[in-house]
Structure 1
Amino acid sequence: MSRFGYFVGLALFILSAVHAEDPYLYFTWNVSYGTISPLGVPQQVILINGEFPGPNINSTSNNNVVLNLFNNLDEPFLMTWNGIQQRKNSWQDGVPGTNCPILPGHNFTYHFQVKDQIGSFFYFPSIGMQRSAGGFGGLRINSRLLIPVPFDPPAADYTVLIGDWYTKSHTTLARFLDRGRSIGRPAGILINGKAGKDSHGNDEEPLFFMEAGLTYRYRICNVGIKTSLNYRVQGHEMKLVEMDGSHTQQNTYESLDIHAGQCFSVLITADQEPGDYYMVATPRFTKYSLTGTGIIRYNNSNKPPSPVLPDAPVGWAWSFNQWRSFHWNLTASAARPNPQGSYHYGSINITRTIKLVNSVGVIDGKRRYALNGVSHTDPETPLKLSEYFGIADKEFTYDVVKDEPPPADSPIKIQPSVIKATFRTYIEIILENPERSIQSYHLSGFSFFPLGMGAGKWTPESRKKYNLLDTVSRHAIQVYPRSWTAIALTFDNAGMWNLRSNLWERQYLGQQLYISVISPARSLRDEYNLPDNAIICGSVVNLPLPPPYTI
């Protein structure tokens, strides 16, 4: 080939690479009931392709995920993708405020791009109390080859799903809540769907294997519905490298508090005498004692684990101090080529402060949970559909939750709760918890900056305690008992987004709201149109489609 021909060919190759679409990953999932006995009691659970937990989604940044989900249950179903930002695409968030449910015997194809993200996440059912029955699984987003990762490739990459577990069915738990009862304490702790011991008290088969001298990545997610858990590995230290989609400074820990809805990645080196070692997960901030275990086995080992389990930490101050030790890795690249440290969040002017205080009350003899005195209820028509079809003013009222909480003795109101946020403004949200129990929150559609935490009530003086340099960008955060947590973020992702309690009893009974972020341009640069395969329900059935967004 001539030199001219070579360069023409190279130019065409580069041009085609530039315009090539990002890779697609295709999945077909069948959601069904099954009977298993994780705590020795046969019970109905939700399976994905016959698996409990469900299959792991292994993707790479910018991949397009196309997932055809068939609902073989006898009840409506939705799947949500915890921590996946769904840029410009709240249509795929899979919560009742954005999506009509997949009816029994029907299917729906989710199509979303894991754009500009890396890290460890999970998925779970979002309707009612279905999350307590399973249907959850791990979702990892690997860094693209051109984007360096701040640690050597591990020998293997393991997903560890820890969580509290109830032996009562999800329909029974929902019935308890509907009648004004509590779901009570969980019956046990599971690690990857197993309690660690069989009905005779014998250890179950190992969950993971390691070769002496090698280092392994463990992605640990708390998929439970109520309980903060402490995770530790017998005889091994853990080097924290990522949480909720952000690389962290690589501090070493003997144990980690992982709150409901959160995911941490750690590196563990097989540097002990070959044998079996327990992973341990136990509750925090509770009066009851439960233990979940799982075995990590060194290859070709026949040495049983020591029966002496490592102790758990005591007190919330220990957990608070551990949180203060978490810092963003500002020298590592993110999913984008530009380094994370180039984004100086601490120098952005705050345009609005919203202070949200959680509360509990009794209405008509039944318990309800609220934020700023409003206990959310889902209308028949998903909020996003009402907004898109232009009938929002007939279906719900914006901003019933005010930027300041009402007086503590104000009655709780039950109604749809939607806050309007101006597109691309930088907003500070204060989460204040006056109760004795710990809280955990998730915000879909975004990563936010946890600026600070403290005891008592938040005041403007509390800003002096903020970390304005290297707090870890994430999507879930805890609020300690009788304490506050401050977060901030730029609302640059148009859509309808759910801010919710990760404690599912509270979420079910109203401790959640939605944030509507509308682009005034109605442009495809800011938000996608209603998908062609969208399920239509409620008041928008038979309404004509509004004019589509254009460039």
Structure 2
Amino acid sequence: MGRPNFLLFALISTLVLVVHSEDPYLFYTWNVSYATLSPLGVPQQVITINGQFPGPWINCTSNNNIVVNVFNNLDEPLLFTWNGIQQRKNSWQEGTLGTNCPIQPGTNFTYRFQVKDQIGSYYYYPTTALHRAAGGYGPLTVHSRDLIPVPFPWPEAEYNVLVGDWYSKGHASLKKFLDNGRSLGRPNGVIINGKHGKGDGTDEPMFTMKPKETYRYRFCNVGMKNSINVRIQGHTMKLVEIEGSHTVQNTYDSLDIHLGQCYSVLVTADQTPKDYYLVASTRFTKTVVTSTATIHYAGSNTPAAAALPEAPVGWAWSLNQFRSLRWNLTASAARPNPQGSYHYGKINITRTIKIVNSAGAVDGKLRYAVNGVSHTDPETPLKLAEYFGVADKVFKYDVIKDEPAENVGDKITIAPIVINGTFRNFVEIIFENHEKSVQSWHLSGYSFFPVAIEPGTWTPEKRKNYNLIDAVSRNTIQVYPKCWAAIMTTLDNAGMWNLRSVILERQYLGQQLYISVLSPARSLRDEYNLPEKMPLCGIVKNMPMPVPYSA
């Protein structure tokens, strides 16, 4: 009798281990609605989540499973994207119009994804219409697991700082401008965590610090058009993380944070106890717009000084800041490149794709383009068309060339843009900015290595200037006027992934594309099947389900 009991005990123990080996789940229920708020002192329609603007903080740990049930109480279709979360094998949860049918008004949809092998500072926002101009964004933080040490002492507390430019006109009015062929023009102000600080001593403190303690501030530029410079009156900032990567811990008086980017810094309350201003202002604009947030030293009653620290001038300073950023190669952390591509300097490039942004008119209306083509989202999401085997009825692959013609910006055509990527290829992407404004680009599904930004135009000889050792692994890159930028990444994440301008009007009017990375084996080891209850639309709405991927 002893042997069967032992086998039963062993079986039960194994089952318990299996059950408990799964990573933890975090559940969220979001009610997305309109509210009348006044971020710049003027009442306007703002998108709130559970009545909050900014939305709820998704505060999780590496490898956690995130479940977000979104109820759309707006009068328009809605999608959310998780800016910087790689969605390993799971572009079904990416939340863009190229991958998902939108959540219709009065319905709900549940996002399910895992923050696999990631840490860092991120944010989410709506991708449909011009909803980003109405808010709907919020912070998303991924902490290291307890067993993995971080390269600095645990701070007293941490603060999310979502900063960005803002328009006083509502999102519906702004959308009409773009639909009628007009530009949005200059934003009207800057807001910090949904509020515009006047810097006159009348605003309630937004953050509190105890004397001598150290705090972590996670800055994200969630704006629509402008780079932002942030600084703290009387204090320095020690940079410790950028978009999921621990950095060499340089100290800065101020930081340029370009559209879509997130920087994490440590600030020590080592000054005279009183109030101080956190200052955020636009960069590279004729008219500089500024906002403040009050940092209160606990126990003090002295207001902040009226004189605000000034931002640097010119983009050359910003370029030097970029060159000072280095990956901390000795820090223990989740590595978001399972193929070992963090040794990127030793991998042979298999493909070079050059991206040239341009602007022009099509039928008298403003459009923005990539290599002469302005992207449009068809009624059937690109990923669904591909999965159901009807891609040829919805789009054509490779309508843009890897090496665009010199006069590529002279004429613009409108079409869905899908680059046919090869699974596990190591690619180099070159962004050339021939315009007078700073551009910002985000790649979903991957982190990449920004190895160079330089003035002029790119040639293969420029590779000798690349940083092939410790470029910071991240997901967003800026490109200064009349400059180029080079990034490298391994296409090891099967799915349909969006490469987009983070400038809202440029993205909305066509400056984006998708990279299709298919698994030749059609294996669940490489990519998940279409989830159950995923909304279908367009020509695939009533089609029979394809044969699923196998193990």
Q: Fold-level match, TM-score > 0.5?
A: yes
CA displacement 1:28-48 (0-9 Å, x = unmatched): 000000001111100010000
Cα distance in structure 2, aligned partners of 1:202 and 1:344: 50
Shift in CA distance, 15/465, structure 1 to aligned 2, threshold 3 Å:
farther
Q: Percent identity?
A: 67
Q: Which residue of 2 aligns with 1:180?
A: 181
Matched, 1:136 2:129: no
Aligned residues: 544
Cα distance in structure 1, aligned partners of 2:184 and 2:419: 29
Cα distance in structure 1, aligned partners of 2:375 and 2:104: 23
Residue 197 of structure 1 and its aligned partner are, at CA, apart by 2.7
Residue 335 of structure 1 and its aligned partner are, at CA, apart by 1.6
Matched, 1:116 2:117: yes
Shift in CA distance, 373/230, structure 1 to aligned 2, threshold 3 Å:
same
CA displacement 1:6-57 (0-9 Å, x = unmatched): xx99x94898179621000000000000001111100010000000111111
Instruction: Please list every run of 5 or more consecutive structure 1 residues that lacks an aligned counterpart in the other structure.
Output: none
Moved over 4 A (4+): 11-15, 336-342
Question: RMSD across aligned C-alpha pairs, in angstroms?
Answer: 2.0
Residue 333 of structure 1 and its aligned partner are, at CA, apart by 1.4
Shift in CA distance, 77/338, structure 1 to aligned 2, threshold 3 Å:
closer
CA displacement 1:433-459 (0-9 Å, x = unmatched): 000100000000000000111001001
Q: Which residue of 2 aligns with 1:405?
A: 404
CA contact (8 A) 2:156 2:215 kept: yes
Q: Which residue of 2 aligns with 1:40?
A: 41
CA displacement 1:65-88 (0-9 Å, x = unmatched): 011000000000000000000000
CA contact (8 A) 1:435 1:481 kept: yes
Matched, 1:282 2:281: yes
Give 1:233-252 correspondences, 5 Å limit: 233-252=232-251
TM-score with structure 2 setting the length: 0.96
Q: Which residue of 1 aligns with 2:3?
A: none
Give 1:159-308 correspondences, 5 Å limit: 159-197=160-198, 203-308=202-307
CA contact (8 A) 1:120 1:264 kept: yes
Q: Which residue of 2 aligns with 1:30?
A: 31
Cα distance in structure 1, aligned partners of 2:277 and 2:230: 11
Residue 505 of structure 1 and its aligned partner are, at CA, apart by 0.6
Shift in CA distance, 171/342, structure 1 to aligned 2, threshold 3 Å:
closer
CA contact (8 A) 2:339 2:492 kept: no
Cα distance in structure 1, aligned partners of 2:532 and 2:112: 11
Q: Which residue of 1 aligns with 2:347?
A: 348
What SS does the corresponding residue of 2:432 show, helix, strand or coil? Answer: strand
CA contact (8 A) 2:117 2:336 kept: no
Cα distance in structure 1, aligned partners of 2:354 and 2:179: 29
CA contact (8 A) 2:387 2:546 kept: yes
Cα distance in structure 1, aligned partners of 2:272 and 2:19: 50
Q: Which residue of 1 aligns with 2:504?
A: 504
Residue identity matched to 2:93: Q
What SS does the corresponding residue of 1:220 show, helix, strand or coil? Answer: strand
Residue 128 of structure 1 and its aligned partner are, at CA, apart by 1.5
Residue 357 of structure 1 and its aligned partner are, at CA, apart by 0.5
Cα distance in structure 2, aligned partners of 1:289 and 1:411: 34
CA contact (8 A) 1:332 1:339 kept: no
Residue identity matched to 2:211: A
Q: Which residue of 1 aligns with 2:150?
A: 149
CA contact (8 A) 1:332 1:340 kept: no
TM-score with structure 1 setting the length: 0.96
CA contact (8 A) 2:201 2:303 kept: no
Cα distance in structure 2, aligned partners of 1:151 and 1:339: 25
Cα distance in structure 2, aligned partners of 1:74 and 1:356: 36
Cα distance in structure 2, aligned partners of 1:272 and 1:323: 28
Residue 410 of structure 1 and its aligned partner are, at CA, apart by 3.8
Cα distance in structure 1, aligned partners of 2:341 and 2:31: 43
CA displacement 1:351-403 (0-9 Å, x = unmatched): 01001100011111111100100100000000000000000011100000110
Greater shift in the superposed pair: 337-346 or 182-191: 337-346
CA displacement 1:87-142 (0-9 Å, x = unmatched): 00000000000000000000000000010000000000001111010000000000
Cα distance in structure 1, aligned partners of 2:340 and 2:111: 33
Q: Which residue of 1 aligns with 2:452?
A: 452
What SS does the corresponding residue of 2:175 show, helix, strand or coil? Answer: helix
Q: Which residue of 2 aligns with 1:532?
A: 532
Q: Which residue of 2 aligns with 1:461?
A: 461
Greater shift in the superposed pair: 52-61 or 342-351: 342-351
Cα distance in structure 2, aligned partners of 1:280 and 1:266: 15
Q: Which residue of 2 aligns with 1:66?
A: 67
CA displacement 1:289-323 (0-9 Å, x = unmatched): 21110001010111100000001100100000000
CA displacement 1:479-525 (0-9 Å, x = unmatched): 00000000010000000000000001100000000000000100000
CA contact (8 A) 2:341 2:347 kept: no
Residue identity matched to 1:355: K
CA contact (8 A) 1:330 1:339 kept: no
Q: Which residue of 1 aligns with 2:88?
A: 87
Cα distance in structure 1, aligned partners of 2:236 and 2:64: 33
CA contact (8 A) 1:376 1:511 kept: yes
